Amino acid sequence: MSGVLGRLSGVRRLEDSTIEELEAEAEKIEWRCVVLDGAEVEDRESFLQMCDEAFGLPDWFGMNWDALEECLLDLDLGEDEGVLVVWASWGLLAEAEPKAFATALDILGGAVRGWAQDGVRGGVVLLGDGPEIDVDEL
């Protein structure tokens, strides 16, 4: 497990780890870890609600894709060296609504690129099983 985050960029899949292991590694290197628990996320609305709660988005968050993108790019990263987003049980949304899943991945990936422009490293880990998608393994 050691050093996985050092190789992280963009969005990657990881099947043989746990949330706790990833949180511990993020803490060790002083990265913020945001866990998206997708166990009950089957549509756009529930994904947006999950993100609102997990990221602590502002009150003005409009519960739509454009607002999510704007909020994530404007996220207060403070003194964080990096940001790890762990999306557990991602396969549920990927299978239920592939188009919403693709949009969610695009927004999360764009946020990671935006954070990198501000000098903050990080990425998104799709943790666990799911359908075959065009995302590299970590």
**Rounded CA separation 123/84 (Å):** 5
Q: Is 40 exposed, middle or buried (0-12, 13-18, 19+ CB in 10 A)?
A: exposed
Instruction: Confirm if 104 and 93 have CB atoms less than 8 A apart.
Output: yes
pLDDT, tens digit, 9 for 90 and up, residues 86-113: 999 999 999 999 999 999 999 999 999 9
Q: How confident is the model at residue 1 (pLDDT cuts 50, 70, 90)?
A: very low
Least confident of 37-41, 66-70, 115-119, 123-127: 115-119
**Rounded CA separation 47/53 (Å):** 10
**Strand segments (E) across 1-113:** 10-14, 31-37, 82-88
For residues 132-136, give the mean pLDDT: 91
CATH 3.40.50.12160 assigned to domain 5-127? The reply is no
Q: How confident is the model at residue 131 (pLDDT cuts 50, 70, 90)?
A: very high
What pTM was estimated for this model as a whole? 0.92
Residue 123 pLDDT more than 80? Answer: yes
What was the pLDDT predicted at 58?
A: 95
Rounded mean pLDDT of the chain? 92
